[in-house]
Structure 1
Amino acid sequence: MVDITPIVLLLGSLLAIYYLVEIFWNLLKIIRAYLAPLFLAHEESSLVKKYGSWALVTGSTDGIVSRNLEKLQNTQREIENLYRVKIKLIQADFSLGKKAVDLVKEEVGKLPIGILVNNVGKQYDYPMYLGEVPEEELWDIIKVNVGAVTLMCKAFIEGMALHGRGAIVNVSSGSELQPLPLMTVYAATKTYVKSFTKALQHEYASRGLTIQHLAPMFVATKMNHFSDKIYRKSLFVPDPENYAKYAVSMLGVLDDTTGYWAHGIQTFFTKLPPEAIRTYIGGYMNSLFREEYMQALKR
């Protein structure tokens, strides 16, 4: 009879070491995210030197290239007045798929895009069962959340690699951490973004590019309008401006981050339970958000 006790002890020790290293690394990332804004001015100037002076940001109005020209113009005036930078507007509807991406490429022309932020995204109007979601809305979520990030990376990544520098930020979501009942398709698209981005990191690791996977938790934007609890600013639900300040400071520092110190803490504790428990908790939270939304409709 073979005594497997030493093998079991060895495997247990290796597993414990793995979790300790992961805990330590996550704590370092949280500390880095918390302190980064103190040095934000230096970070911003270094980004221009490192990647160039032009950044292309999709989803730059209601979330963190928009369909609404008036909102784009308002955002343009606000940013230009605050930061004295030059902005070129592109009005595009990414639910049109390749047509939208071709329009963006045409409008960008020969501008040397050094940073691409794939931030555009589409969410359910409120937590719903799959059978309740209109088919057109499901297709829009897939085309915007999966199609746009894929084709936009395809459009600009080789040009960046040719010059040996550039940064791509693909914005995912904390919903990628587990299957998410009542937001099934949305969470699945964000899992795609995570997998896609990590594969790109490997493909272009030797070509001088920064490819970042950014996975925030709740941010107080219009996407979360269905619940006052996550639509209002709080310690763990920052407004877009505050979140962006932290997230910008992570570019070129961490390739995998939540972008915000409090979200790093949330992600750390979210990942501790097994997936089945995380799925149950996520579904339970969404059922509460759904009930809150339904009650608001009745009122």
Structure 2
Amino acid sequence: MDLMELFFITLGAAVVVFYGVKLLLFSRMLFPKIWFPLSQSFFTSLGKWAVVTGASEGIGRAYAFALAEKGMNVVIMSRTKITLDRLAEEIVDTTGQRVKVIVTDFMKDNVFSEIEDQIRSLDIGVLVNNVGMLPSIIPCKFLETAQLDQTITTVINCNVKTMAKMCKIILPGMESRGKGVILNISSGVASIPFPMYTLYAASKVFVERFSQGLQAEYKDKGIIIQAVAPFGVSTRMTAYQQTNVVTLSPEEFVKSSLQYLRAGDKTHGSVCHIVLAWLLQSIPRKVLYADSILHSMQGYVKRKAALKASICASTATYENVKNK
């Protein structure tokens, strides 16, 4: 056997081993309960309280309920007091856990000293940084964004600054106790540079890199810090799309994503979303960024949003007539 033949055999074996390991690692994602098990008392062992930002609806609401069902008291935050009060009542009635309501607007500056004062005495084991804003449901180019200067500030305040500030407030307590979980909600669109959602996608890239860097810094302190990057979830941000195999309800997604808590510093939260991320990263950028594709995406979202608005309007009209 000559040297060249030996080189190619060795190279082939290395490629087989490399992709074999990747396949094994991916196969773990199919069976999270087996590969990443959590004990019944896992969450309550972290602390008595969980804090969830953007908790009034959607994914945040689902996390608040899920953590309460696991035995934690919850602090729920958003800017809508009526909705938060209603949610608090539901959680108390359903789970028997305590709920603390904090009304705040994360799009504004200088709201964090008051938040810190209100949660200072709590034994916080879990933080879910869920609050976020999408500049527009309808995708558009950066310069076509309505009220662009204001939008830049509010997106950075809401999607970037809030996450970092909440970590600053809560992480010291976790470090001193040597335990805790921080879940920072990113987005599947951060998997690649994403035209038409440029500002939003870029803000979610920050969420991922910040989370991964923070996990490297504090992993040896017994703290889990993970970026959670969903694709389709039926929320107001996605115009409440019909649920299916790809588009999950908030409750389905949260239940699934919590099973991947020990799966590393980033997860897409469900098998179908993991596959979607792989497909998105595999498609050539020239294809994804073609004008025809971008215009088709814009038109699709417009039609979906218009249809949803029409259904809501029809339902409201029917309810008004019925109640007369």
> Is 1:259 the equivalent of 2:259?
no
Q: TM-score, normalised by structure 1?
A: 0.84
Q: TM-score, normalised by structure 2?
A: 0.78
1:215 alignment counterpart: 229
Cα shift at 1:105: 1.0
Sort the Cα spacing of 1:124 and 1:286 in 2 relative to 1 into closer, same or farther, 3 A.
farther
Q: Distance in 2 between matches of 1:44 and 1:128?
A: 45
**Structure 2 unmatched runs, 5+:** 60-76, 311-324
Q: Distance in 1 between matches of 2:114 and 2:26?
A: 40
> Is 1:62 the equivalent of 2:57?
yes
More deviation, 262-271/287-296: 287-296
* Residue of structure 2 aligned with 1:85, choices 84, 94, 97: 97
Sort the Cα spacing of 1:233 and 1:87 in 2 relative to 1 into closer, same or farther, 3 A.
same
> Is 1:156 the equivalent of 2:170?
yes
Contact between 2:179 and 2:221, CA under 8 Å: does it hold in 1?
A: yes
Contact between 2:208 and 2:266, CA under 8 Å: does it hold in 1?
A: no
Contact between 1:174 and 1:216, CA under 8 Å: does it hold in 2?
A: yes
1:25 alignment counterpart: 25
1:45 alignment counterpart: 41
1:205 counterpart SS class? helix
> Is 1:145 the equivalent of 2:159?
yes
Contact between 1:30 and 1:264, CA under 8 Å: does it hold in 2?
A: no
2:99 counterpart SS class? coil
**RCO greater where, 1 or 2, for CA within 8 Å and sep 6 or more?**
1
- Count of residue pairs the alignment pairs up: 287
Q: Distance in 1 between matches of 2:196 and 2:8?
A: 40
**Structure 1 unmatched runs, 5+:** none
Give the letter aligned to residue 172 of structure 1: S
2:316 alignment counterpart: none
Q: Distance in 1 between matches of 2:278 and 2:31?
A: 13
Within a 5 Å distance, the mapping from 1:1-299 to structure 2 comes to 14=14, 17-32=17-32, 43=39, 45-49=41-45, 51-64=46-59, 65-97=77-109, 99-125=110-136, 126-133=138-145, 134-135=147-148, 136-225=150-239, 231-279=241-289, 283=294, 286-292=297-303
Q: CA RMSD in A?
A: 3.1
Q: Distance in 2 between matches of 1:101 and 1:16?
A: 52
Give the letter aligned to residue 211 of structure 1: I
Give the letter aligned to residue 43 of structure 2: L
Cα shift at 1:47: 1.5
Contact between 1:130 and 1:184, CA under 8 Å: does it hold in 2?
A: yes
Contact between 1:121 and 1:145, CA under 8 Å: does it hold in 2?
A: yes
Q: Distance in 2 between matches of 1:102 and 1:282?
A: 45
